[in-house]
Chain A
Amino acid sequence: MNNEIKLEFDAISANESFARVAVAAFVTPVNPTLEELADVKTAVSEAVTNAIIHGYDGRQGKVLLHCILRERTLHIEVKDTGKGIENVEKAMEPLFTTRPELDRSGMGFSFMEAFMDDLQVLSEPGAGTCVVMKKRFADMSSEPHEE
């Protein structure tokens, strides 16, 4: 199965659930397990939330979600044109957050790393951030069908 979607939406928190549900729907043809589906939804939710809270910091903007499915591998890009990240390495440290007053746990990138097979964060201060993630879905076709 090869497929591709590009979605652009406003950087508002109501769209966090829209984004993860859209990606979940996009990957249904490859029959992901419940766990794989939860992994992808969580990672997308984290990346989109970062774009909204940190990238745009509550200001207006657009988030671009680009998904490509090649056989059983999903490539996801979550891109914003917000303020960017000064120090990507630091931002990716577990528990690091620039917004403790918002009750942010500092686990966003750690979750993306834990739940996806590959994570790259490209960012330029003043220009924006692009999070690139990859997930390979296990081939369950030889397994007996559920139900």
Chain B
Amino acid sequence: MDERFHIIDDYLMIRMPEEIDHHQAAALSEQADRYILEEPVKHIVFDFEDTRFMDSSGVGVVIGRYKKIACFGGNVYAVNADRQIRRIIRISGLKKVLKLVEEDTDE
């Protein structure tokens, strides 16, 4: 699972799993927090390329990580979010903190 995490400069890149629910969330948060604590991480990029399902547990994962880096001026970004993930981001209000990069083509 560790190949899902990469450090590039002061960015932590997280390749999110196929399904993000409560069952997946705890381990994901725990691993991310280890990188945040041990590496010089300032910003986080959540890559949703593999993700086909996300519920409010996924929103909790993003918000929880954001809280850990926001006090040091860090930002959180989402890449490769499909239509469904973008809907979750919009409806949850996550859009206020999570910056959507590289919009998918239509649909």
Which A residues form the contact surface with B (CB < 8 A)?
Answer: 13-14, 16-17, 20, 34-35, 38, 41-42, 45-46, 49, 52-53, 94, 102-108, 110-111, 114
Contacts and interface: CB of A to CB of B under 8 A. Distances in A.
A114 B91 contact: yes
Contact of B88 (A13, A17, A42): A42
A103 B21 contact: no
Q: Determine the main DSSP class of B at the interface with A.
A: helix
Interface of B: 19, 21-23, 25-26, 29, 53, 55-57, 59-61, 63-64, 83-84, 87-88, 91-93
B19 A35 contact: no
A16 B21 contact: yes
A49 B59 contact: no
Nearest to A108: B56
Contacts of A108: 55-56
Contact of B61 (A45, A53, A94, A103): A103
Given A38-B84, A42-B55, A103-B29, A17 B19 contact: yes
B63 A35 contact: no
A89 B92 CA distance: 19
The 5 closest A-B pairs by CB, nearest first: A13-B23, A103-B64, A105-B60, A107-B56, A103-B60
